[in-house]
Structure 1
């Protein structure tokens, strides 16, 4: 029986006897470049955009109103200072001009913008980003220097000023420039409706004015004219009776 020939050695560094464990796909060697993937520490604790430190673990919110429908947007950190400010300014600027188009969105949009003040304050207190795998985002212009955001401030100011304006209007509407005292020559509401004779002054041009005070019976023997009513004020028992002539 013939025996197989012994293996041939081609040199001390021959690969003929290497075990066949190198069976994975071939990955070419890449020289180190300026930007590489995130390290485990950066991926777990660094900025989710650039991997830099220090960071603030916060969430930025946005809102879009679409007449009937609406969208609630959010981007969760952690963010470094520059990336976080860029996200806050971008989402707040879009909310300022996209968030008003709907009945409920008129109230949701101001609340959304106010909730972003918390992340904005936390991000501003961070130090400069360092150690990132890529450059941080450019924060860009502040909101007050962005034309779309400035246009969106008009509805915001209208909503914020609506309640004080309505309150002031109600107060002014309740103030009558006409006389308040039951003086001779003033008009009052229908005395028949007030069983306690508590007369209410009305302007003589008002539809509620039914009687006009013609005389105050404050002298002995004074009487009202024929067809006039006599009213005694309940404010004071010592007050003189009044003569009321039909006004309409």
Structure 2
């Protein structure tokens, strides 16, 4: 990790060019170290507010021997910024997308709330439970849901996800039809 400071007599245009180039270099190479990985975002933000404010105090270019430096593209439109901002934007968009998909998917078949007397079919092999509620007259019905107090030694206890409801609600089991 290293810190670079450029000192000199600069006009506003040259100062802007130096600021943009150094910020782009920091965005490209500032991450390559364990400590630097965590410090770089603070350095970039500090420069964005501190050094950028100092640029406005610099004088406009006038009467110089050499022409002023060309400031080039804005920092956020340069390749190093895109290299950093693209994964951040993808993560930022992925989180709300996953939330929306989860809301519209309805939680899948395994999260259906059952009550005593319902008939179900297990789409997995026991002890795994992937229960689907079916009509009791259907040939697909394999088990009937009972309250836990009525469960026998050959019955299967249901996981909590199938007994969604009020606190204190009794657990359930299923018995073969």
1:81 and 2:16 equivalent? no
Partners of 1:215 and 1:154 in 2: how far apart? Answer: 57
1:184 corresponds to: 119
Corresponding position of 1:228: 155
Q: Which ranges in structure 1 are unaligned for 5 or more consecutive residues?
A: 1-69, 188-203
C-alpha distance in structure 1 between counterparts of 2:74 and 2:125, whole Å = 51
RMSD, matched Cα: 4.8
> In the aligned structure 2, how far is the partner of 1:158 from the partner of 1:234?
38
User: Is the Cα–Cα contact under 8 Å of residues 82 and 136 in structure 1 kept in the other structure?
Assistant: no
Whether the 8 Å contact between 1:110 and 1:156 is mirrored in structure 2 is no
2:44 to 113, 116, 119: 113
Gapped runs of 5+ residues in structure 2? 134-142
Tell me how far 1:126 sits from its aligned partner: 5.4
**Is 1:244–2:166 an aligned residue pair?**
no
User: Displacement of 1:82 after TM fit?
Assistant: 1.7
8 Å CA contact 1:93, 1:143 repeated in 2? no
Higher RCO (CA 8 Å, separation ≥ 6 residues): 2
1:128 partnered with 2:60: yes
Q: Which has the higher helix share?
A: 2
Q: How many residues align?
A: 152
1:97 is matched with 28
Larger radius of gyration: 1
| Residue pair 1:228, 1:245 contacting (<8 A) in 2 also | yes
Paired residues for 1:134-213 under 5 Å: 134-135=65-66, 137-143=68-74, 149-151=78-80, 153-159=82-88, 161-162=90-91, 165=94, 176-180=107-111, 181-182=113-114, 184-185=119-120, 204-205=123-124, 209=128
Is contact 1:228-1:243 (8 Å) kept? yes
8 A Cα contact 1:229 1:243, kept in partner: yes
Tell me the residue number matched to 2:3: 72
Any idea what the Cα deviations from partners look like across 1:159-204, whole Å, max 9, x if unmatched?
Answer: 465466468669978x8422421253166xxxxxxxxxxxxxxxx5
Cα deviation 1:4-38 (Å, max 9, x = unaligned): xxxxxxxxxxxxxxxxxxxxxxxxxxxxxxxxxxx
TM-score, normalized by length of structure 1?
Answer: 0.42
